[in-house]
Chain A
Amino acid sequence: MSGMTGTKTKGAESRAGRGLRLLRSGAVHLAYLLGLPAALLALWWVLAARSTNFYYPTLDEILAAFAETWFSERIVDDVLPSLGRLAAGYLGAAVIGIGLGVLLGTRPRIRALLEPVLEFFRAVPPPVLIPVLMLVAGIGDTMKIVVIISGALWPVLLNTVEGVRAIDEVLSDTARCYGLTGTARLRRLVLPGASPQIVAGLRQALSISIILMVISEMFASSSGLGFTVVQFQRSFAIPEMWSGILLLGLLGFALSLLFALFESRVLGWYRGLRQSQRGEK
């Protein structure tokens, strides 16, 4: 009798144990993810708690300002326009960068022709284009989107060129033997083959896009996150200004998490391949 209950509890225990272990590993994971941010926030809270300096408000004030400032019509008036420009600029840079990169990667002559010009444009810091673009494209969304594209384009373009050029010769021969030409070659060989490098370029482009979104909104703008932060600073609404910076940080963090999700879906095969190669060596 006691033996039977013994085996029963043992089975139940192992199942519960597995659940517990899973829960524990999840908790450890979460602790790693949020541990340091939580500690830093606590430190901030403690250090700023007794602050009487006008420019360094307490964290309580900032958080109160955060809720008040951003959970309002500003979501529609400022946050969404910013996100819209970011999306348009980022996607524009991705499409142009990948398209041009594939062309330059597959055609050495066009690459030789365009390389000096591209090197020049790459060397121009994009914010410096803002005054010029204001003359050409006005001060509307177009100008801001063009600024984002002009900065975020380069990592995508250069990585795509490298990725396309590095496609394995044997794989390329195989594709030719089996009649993969034109669009089929592009879809089945070139783009997936270059995808590890393309995704690396897209990751860099994302952070550049966020930076340029903010900067472009600081000039001659009437809406957006960059505009709002500058506006708060000029009107000495210091806790609100800090809350804007906090929001930008959170936004960047959320977008990079989303990107990591995208990357793990697109490049799952690549991680597996690399692991198996390392295992063999």
Chain B
Amino acid sequence: MTGTKAAAPATEYSAGALAVRGVRKVYQGSGRTVEAVRDLTFTVGAGDLACIVGPSGAGKTTLLKCVAGLLAPTSGEVRLGDARVQGPPPGMAVVFQEYGRSLFPWMTVGANVELPLKQKKIGKAERAALVAQALDSVGLQDAPAAYPWQLSGGMQQRVAIARAIAYEPKVLLMDEPFAAVDAQTRAELEDLTRSLWRKLGMTVLFVTHDIDEAVYLGERVLVLSASPTVVMEDIDVDLPAEREQLTTRALPRFAELRAAVYGHVQRAKTFHSAAAAAGAGDRP
């Protein structure tokens, strides 16, 4: 795991590129250690949209927190551009699954979106423009004076997305952002995410447990194994860039990719025990 610091391709060093190298995370409990993530190595190129899927309990959230700099990996490193991530880096925004807990309930929608910009020391006029633009692009131009808890779940997640894009991040991390909204809203938010990505061109790392969502959204799908986690498969999604809920999902290629990812995820659940049975790994 120490050898991974050696020569990496120069293209990785462009600003929005994300490199995860040999990341391992072990939680030390009282008399019990849990290896949540064993050895994760992958890169996401600048401006790419990669989805991470894996069975539940695969350490997806642990991985995302390590990437976001919220959690220090036990070993290995995460690099954003040419800098090592040691705390939440500037230029990275996160959208959490729990929209109800990630918006400040004592601030209006507008103030929620504006707050990170104040921290970035952006001038007042420019802040106002960015907030208005971001709310407009998620379809909430009329909501800046409302409080988050006055909005529906889907709208609250839109506010969180608006806050993230107003921040003008190079990398946007999304941790199962649509797992807690209804199916209709979810489809809308998926399309919103893709259109924002295409418009703004930031790197997006999207964690989900939903295989359909991963294939529909991603340019790439990384399949994680069950915990202790490794990257099991890296699949290129060669669907047209212009995606649409009905027609894209009806494409034969979509079904093929979906089946392939599904197969990998099924295999991921028993990845370690199968390896152990083959005598190549250790028993969990």
B247 within 8 A of A: no
Q: Does A177 contact B (CB under 8 A)?
A: yes
In the bound assembly, the distance between CA atoms of A15 and B196 in angstroms comes to: 50
Question: Which residues of the partner chain A approach B98 to less than 8 Å between Cβ atoms?
Answer: 170
Q: How far is A273 from B119 in the complex, measured between Cα atoms in Å?
A: 26
Q: Is A168 an interface residue (CB 8 A)?
A: yes
Cα distance A177–B116 in the bound complex, in angstroms: 9
Nearest-neighbor residue (CB-CB) of A174 within chain B: B102
Q: How far is the CA of A269 from the CA of B106 in the complex (A)?
A: 5
Residues of chain A in range 163-184 having any CB-CB distance to chain B below 8 Å: 168-171, 173-174, 176-180, 184
Instruction: Count residues on chain B whose CB falls below 8 Å from chain A CBs.
Output: 26
Q: Mark B111-139, 1 if CB is under 8 A from A, else 0.
A: 00001101110000000000000000000
- Complex CA gap A174/B68 in Å reads 10
| Inter-subunit contact B119/A170 (CB<8 Å) | no
B104–A171 touching, CB < 8 Å: yes
- The closest CB in chain A to the CB of B116 belongs to A178
Bound complex: CA A269 to CA B107 (Å): 8
**Contact mask for chain B residues 81-101; partner A; CB cutoff 8 A; 1 contact, 0 none:** 000000110101110101001
Q: Which of chain B's residues have a CB closer than 8 A to the CB of A188?
A: 104, 115
Q: Is B197 in the interface zone, CB < 8 Å from A?
A: no
Tell me, in angstroms, the Cα distance from A260 to B102 when the chains sit together.
29
Q: Give Cα A269 to B112, complex, Å.
A: 14
The residue in chain B whose Cβ has the minimal distance to the Cβ of A279 is: B149
Within A29-47, the residues touching B (CB, 8 Å) are none
B98 to chain A: closest residue by CB: A170
Query: In the complex, A173→B105 CA distance in Å?
Result: 15
Q: Provide the bound-state CA to CA distance between A102 and B131, in Å.
A: 31
Known: A180-B115, A276-B149, A277-B149. A192 touches B96 (CB 8 A): no
Show 13 A/B contacts (Cβ-Cβ < 8 Å), sorted by A. A174-B94, A176-B70, A177-B68, A178-B88, A179-B116, A179-B119, A179-B120, A192-B104, A193-B106, A195-B106, A269-B105, A270-B105, A276-B150
> Chain B interface (Cβ within 8 Å of chain A)?
65, 68, 70, 87-88, 90, 92-94, 96, 98, 101-102, 104-106, 115-116, 118-120, 147, 149-150, 163, 167
